[in-house]
Amino acid sequence: MLKTEHFGKCLLIKTKKRILVAGDLHIGYEESLEKSGAFVGRKMFGELIAEFNLIFAKIGKVDEIILLGDLKHDFSKLTIQERQELNKLFNYLLFHCKKIIITLGNHDNYLLNVDLKREIEVKDVYIDEEVCFFHGDRDFAEIRDKKIKCWVLGHFHPAILLGEKKRAKCEKYKCFLEGNFEEKRVIILPSFFEGSEGSDFEESRMKMPWKFNLKNFKVLIVGENLEVLDFGKLKSLQSSRALQKKKRFISF
C-alpha cells in the first residue's frame, strides 16, 4: 500500500524512493500585481523558502521533489522576478534532493526559457511505479493505465470555509482532498502559494476534467506548524451541519 505523510502543504510519498510533492507555487505573483498598479512588498519568496526549511528540518533530504505545475504566475511571458526566483528555488531544492520533476501547468508558458539544470525534468505526466503525477488542468490517456493506482495533482487550490456564517467569522483554510475515482486513489494538493487561500467547491467543480464525487472525498485541513487535520469526508461534515444545526459554514 502506498505510504504518504502530510507536512503542511506538501505530501511525502514513500515508494522505493522518498518523494516530496508540492503544488502551485505561482512565483512572480507580486510583479504581476505591480504591473496592474497594486504595489506590494516582495516577501513571498522568502516566506516560501522559510516554509520549505521547516519541512526539510522534519524530513531531511529526499530522492526526488515533484512540483505539480504553475511554478510561475504570469501567463504571457517569463518575467524578471520569475526568472530570478525560479533559479534560486531550483538551486535551493537541489541541495535537498537528487532530482526535480516539474509537471507543466497552465501558467507555465515560457517556463522552458529558464536555464534548467540537468537534474531537472519537465513533463506533462510523471509516473513512478503505480503513482501518476500531473498538474490537473488536463486529462491524459496514460493516466488511465490500469497499472496506475494513484493520481497526485494540484491546480484546484482546494480550501474550506469554517466558522459562524451569521457572525461573519468564517475563515478559509487550505486543505488536501483525498478520495477514489475509477478504482484509483486521488490526492489533490492545496496550493503552496500564499497569495490566495484557495477556491471553493463550486468554482473548482466546473473546471474539473473528471467527474469526481467530492462529497466522498476526505478533507485534510492544513493547520499551523505543518500540522494537517483530518476532518473526515465532506458529506459527513455537511450532514453533521444539517442535523445538528451547528453554526458552521462549509463550502468548497
Q: pLDDT tens across 17-66, in order?
A: 999 999 999 887 766 655 665 555 567 789 999 999 999 999 999 999 99
Contact between residue 150 and residue 187 where contact means Cβ atoms under 8 Å apart? yes
Q: What is the pLDDT of residues 243-252, one digit of tens each?
A: 333 343 344 4
Give the model's confidence band at 8: pLDDT under 50 very low, under 70 low, under 90 confident, else very high: very high
Say what the pLDDT of residue 169 is: 65
User: Which residues fall within 8 angstroms of residue 33, CB to CB, at 6 or more apart?
Assistant: 39, 40
Return the pLDDT at 133. 98
Q: Are strands 159-162 and 150-153 parallel, antiparallel or unpaired?
A: unpaired
What is the CATH T-level fold of the domain 3-244, as seen in this structure? Purple Acid Phosphatase; chain A, domain 2 (3.60.21)
- Residue 165 φ then ψ, to 5°: -60, -45
The pLDDT value given to residue 125: 96
Question: For 197-251, how does the pLDDT look when each residue is reduced to its tens digit (9 = 90+)?
Answer: 777 665 555 578 999 999 999 999 999 999 999 999 988 766 554 433 334 334 4
pTM to 2 decimals?
0.89
| Cα dihedral 137, 36, 158, 25 sign | positive
pLDDT tens, residue by residue, 119-174: 999 999 999 999 999 999 999 999 999 999 999 999 999 998 776 555 456 778 89
* Strand, helix or coil for residue 100: strand
pLDDT for 68-112, tens place per residue? Answer: 988 877 767 788 888 888 999 999 999 999 999 999 888 777 777
Percent of all residues in the chain with a pLDDT value above 70, rounded to a whole number = 83
Q: How far is the C-alpha of 34 from the C-alpha of 41, rounded, in Å?
A: 10
Decide: 31 and 80 in contact? Cβ < 8 Å: yes
